[in-house]
Chain A
Amino acid sequence: MKLILSSSPHAHAKNSVHSMMRDVILALLPAAGCAVWFFGMRAVWLIATCIAASVVTEAVCRLAMKRENSIGDLSATLTGLLLALNLPPDLPLWMAAVGGVFAIAVAKQAFGGLGYNPFNPALAARAFMLISFTGAMTTWAFPRGYEAVEAATNATPVDAVTCATPLALIKKGDVAQLASLKSLLLGNIGGCIGETCAIALLVGAAYLLIRRVITWHIPVSFLATVFIFAFFKGGVPPVFHVLSGGAILGACFMATDYVTSPITAKGKIVFGVGCGLLTMCIRSGGGYPEGVSFAILIMNAVTPLINRYTQPKPFGRA
């Protein structure tokens, strides 16, 4: 039996890329569960389609690039799941599949795979789909049990009715129709399938924080910035801005993507504040009602710069 020769250390913690990705997927399960609860089989099909498209694309790309297969690290599965949770419930499945292929082939593997992509693949795909399939990407079905629908049109099949997301209502100034705080927390509102239930997302985020997969810096600075901006802007109570749209999903699961966010604690706070500011700027002044995706994508582009100016100072350096 030959000896193994290697440089120290000769011990390793029980973590790996696989285990970290697995933890994020586990943390997203409550949100995925809520998506299924509120939007039914549509959500199941969307999630399945996106994951399948992502994983297959990953395998095909690696094969074409003659590199080792990397679906085992679960990053493609995670990208697929995140993408699905960022899609409206009534989106045609073929569009979802196109999004999954784009996320992996263009936004990730074209740059060399996990670790080299400058932009969050799921968000890049969402931005691509928002521009390509604008209509389908901005049509929101009522979630099951939507209060207003229940009261008015009990017999109408869910799929046939569209509703406005809270953010669209805020934008229109239609504050009267705005959902209650309770609905926002539970997810009983219109929106992307995974972003509506704040409680499920926060449970997942807490799991990631406890497992030390993510640190508090980005989610807290992101959401705090949104809150403070909304507070000074006036209008709806600031907590509505935090709980509606993709703010929580974005701050806890998308902005914290390792590859595309700064590496130091200081940098993460700069990044989070930047995301929050851009999100609110787009929400209040931009053409779209929601700005989380674009805010994160823009900050992704700035990440190398933030890294450059937020290097840690060695212990003992004056």
Chain B
Amino acid sequence: MKTVKSSFKFHGGVHPEYHKDLARDKAIEAIPLPGTLVISMSQHLGAPAKCLVKAGDKVVKGQLIGEKGGFISANVHASACGTVKSVELKQGAAGGYANAVVLETEASDETAYMPPLDWKTATREELLKRVDEAGICGMGGAGFPSSVKLNPPPDKHCEYLILNGAECEPYLTADFRMMLEHADRIRTGVEIMRKVLNGPAVRIAIEANKPEAIAAMETAFKDIEGNVEIVILPVLYPQGSEKHQIYATVKRIVPEGGLPIAVGCVVENVGTVAAIADAVTLGKPLIERVTTVTGDGVNEPKNVLAPCGTRYEDMVAFAGGAKENVRKVLSGGPMMGFNVADLGISTTKTTSGLTLLTEKSVFQYSSHACINCGTCLRACPMNLNPAAISCAVESDDIADAEKRGVMNCIECGACSFSCPAYRDITQNCRRAKAAIRARIAREKAAAAAKAKG
């Protein structure tokens, strides 16, 4: 095991103000069990889970209540004991609606976990099955199901397992606290994943502004065998983006439209790795996570361990309540977080933070015409031409935006962040991507209808 500095710098990137000092020194605290949980069937990327319970059912903590609804999907488990009040459409943080189980909780120590496994003796297939059953998905934000990541197609081999501890999003400190306080679980998780992936080299990627986390990881992985390195990344947003992290750690470039496995890499967030360890050693499905409740709009910023499905209002109340002059509530951080209008929304497996901002830290803007300055081109980590894409979308020329590679956009927001004319570049890219996805879906449906007859 050794520690190295990354020497590969990707194009672009920006330096937002990090504000991590608000919660970085706050130890993880478990929230008292809330009276109501709203557990969404769509907490991950891909098809929503099929709900297995109905109003009036009694459920036990850890019980399967949603069965994965496709290949790219994940199981959902009850985060607490209680009675199902209803199953209804509820709004998620991204604005869409999905089926959700409204659970009246009751205090009980009863659990319905899976039997613990000894990862050293268990077979690769058993471990993979466990990760699949435990409903584990990427906890960094995108929520890609881990069982799919850990089971690459037969013609692909994973050479590098990259642990994403960059946490480049401003304000958030959940992953940082995980590395500090749960380094042992992360290590167990890494060893399990290494076994499942047939022994790849391990790279633990952490940004240079988290020396304590680097030290904690060094201690935890001190005596590990095999090719393991801690890679210190330069502080640069979006260092936590999968593609850019792969480039910064092993200098490989994921091809356009491809997954990391195309270049022999699997990237997993540190929180996810700890969840995998729990699923195997304790038999505990993914039913809780650490969420940073922060921002100048909350009275006591905290890193909160909360069951999935905790409503934002309960989270904020646990963090000392919101200040009166809050003007913005974000699910996530300020760069990629979703703006929400309602504290009745509940957390999911991917909610890494809740950021409440007051008038002081919120800006309202009006856009100026593009002055062609090229700041966005220099900021774009995907090396796109955001200015031209944005102008194309504004004149409804989606085809031109597509030609310019808008589908590569990772929506990191570096362009809008740095635009001196305050243009809605990221939002325009999103609009183009949605239009293109809709068109592809239409074409697929038309082709399917044609094939049918």
A is bound by B? yes
Binding site for B on A (CB under 8 A): 1-13, 15-17, 19-20, 73, 112-116, 215, 258-261, 263-264, 307, 311-318
Please give the number of chain B residues whose Cβ is less than 8 angstroms from any Cβ of chain A in the complex.
66
Q: Are B383 and A7 in contact (CB under 8 A)?
A: no
Q: Tell me the bound Cα distance from A317 to B421 in angstroms.
A: 29
Known: A10-B328, A316-B253, A317-B405. A15 touches B372 (CB 8 A): no
Q: Tell me the bound Cα distance from A315 to B404 in angstroms.
A: 12
Q: Are B330 and A316 in contact (CB under 8 A)?
A: no
| CB of B119 closer than 8 Å to a CB of A | no
Q: Tell me the bound Cα distance from A186 to B10 in angstroms.
A: 42
Closest chain A residue, CB of each to CB of B327: A4
Interface centre among B329, B370, B424 (most CB of A within 10 A): B370
Known: A3-B328, A11-B17, A313-B383. A19 touches B420 (CB 8 A): yes
Stretch at the interface among B192-200, B304-312, B374-382: B374-382
Chain B residues near A2: list those with CB within 8 A.
327
Closest chain B residue, CB of each to CB of A2: B327
Task: Tell me the dominant secondary structure on chain A's binding face.
Answer: loop
| CB of B113 closer than 8 Å to a CB of A | no
Interface residues of B in 315-349 (CB under 8 A from A): 324-330, 332, 334-339, 341
Contact of B372 among A7, A16, A263, A318 (CB under 8 A): A263
Known: A312-B377, A315-B381. A113 touches B256 (CB 8 A): no
Chain A residues near B170: list those with CB within 8 A.
11
Q: Tell me the bound Cα distance from A142 to B308 in angstroms.
A: 79
Contact of B335 among A6, A9, A307, A314 (CB under 8 A): A9
Q: Can you report 10 A-B residue pairs in the complex whose CB atoms are below 8 A from each other?
A: A5-B339, A8-B411, A9-B417, A16-B421, A17-B420, A20-B371, A115-B371, A115-B372, A314-B256, A314-B382
Q: Are B371 and A258 in contact (CB under 8 A)?
A: yes
Chain B residues near A318: list those with CB within 8 A.
255-256
Q: Tell me the bound Cα distance from A315 to B10 in angstroms.
A: 9
Q: Tell me the bound Cα distance from A315 to B336 in angstroms.
A: 20
Chain B residues near A215: list those with CB within 8 A.
374, 378
Chain B residues near A20: list those with CB within 8 A.
371, 373, 420
Q: Are A312 and B371 in contact (CB under 8 A)?
A: no
Chain A residues near B383: list those with CB within 8 A.
312-315
| CB of B210 closer than 8 Å to a CB of A | no
Interface centre among A11, A259, A318 (most CB of B within 10 A): A11
Q: Are B335 and A11 in contact (CB under 8 A)?
A: yes
Q: What's the least CB distance linking B50 to chain A, in Å?
A: 31
Q: Tell me the bound Cα distance from A25 to B365 in angstroms.
A: 24
| CB of B418 closer than 8 Å to a CB of A | yes
Q: Are A9 and B336 in contact (CB under 8 A)?
A: yes
Q: Tell me the bound Cα distance from A317 to B256 in angstroms.
A: 5
Closest chain A residue, CB of each to CB of B413: A9
Stretch at the interface among B27-35, B126-134, B356-364: B356-364
Chain B residues near A7: list those with CB within 8 A.
339, 424, 426-427, 430
Closest chain B residue, CB of each to CB of A15: B420
Q: Tell me the bound Cα distance from A8 to B430 in angstroms.
A: 10
Chain A residues near B365: list those with CB within 8 A.
12
| CB of B158 closer than 8 Å to a CB of A | no
Q: Tell me the bound Cα distance from A115 to B369 in angstroms.
A: 6
Known: A15-B375, A313-B383, A316-B258. 4 other contacts (CB 8 A): A11-B335, A12-B363, A15-B420, A316-B243
Q: Tell me the bound Cα distance from A53 to B254 in angstroms.
A: 54
Q: Are A312 and B328 in contact (CB under 8 A)?
A: no
Chain A residues near B332: list those with CB within 8 A.
8
Chain B residues near A115: list those with CB within 8 A.
368-372, 421
Nearest 4 interchain pairs by C-beta: A9-B413, A115-B369, A314-B405, A7-B427
Q: Are B325 and A316 in contact (CB under 8 A)?
A: no
Q: Are A114 and B369 in contact (CB under 8 A)?
A: yes
Chain B residues near A260: list those with CB within 8 A.
372
Interface centre among A1, A10, A12 (most CB of B within 10 A): A10
| CB of B384 closer than 8 Å to a CB of A | yes
| CB of B209 closer than 8 Å to a CB of A | no
Closest chain A residue, CB of each to CB of B11: A315
Contact of B417 among A12, A19, A258, A316 (CB under 8 A): A12
| CB of B387 closer than 8 Å to a CB of A | yes
Q: Are B325 and A1 in contact (CB under 8 A)?
A: yes
Contact of B368 among A19, A73, A316 (CB under 8 A): A73
Q: Tell me the bound Cα distance from A17 to B418 in angstroms.
A: 11
Q: Are B382 and A264 in contact (CB under 8 A)?
A: no
Q: Tell me the bound Cα distance from A312 to B404 in angstroms.
A: 9
Q: Tell me the bound Cα distance from A15 to B371 in angstroms.
A: 13
Q: Are A8 and B335 in contact (CB under 8 A)?
A: yes
Q: Are A114 and B417 in contact (CB under 8 A)?
A: no
Chain A residues near B388: list those with CB within 8 A.
263, 307, 311
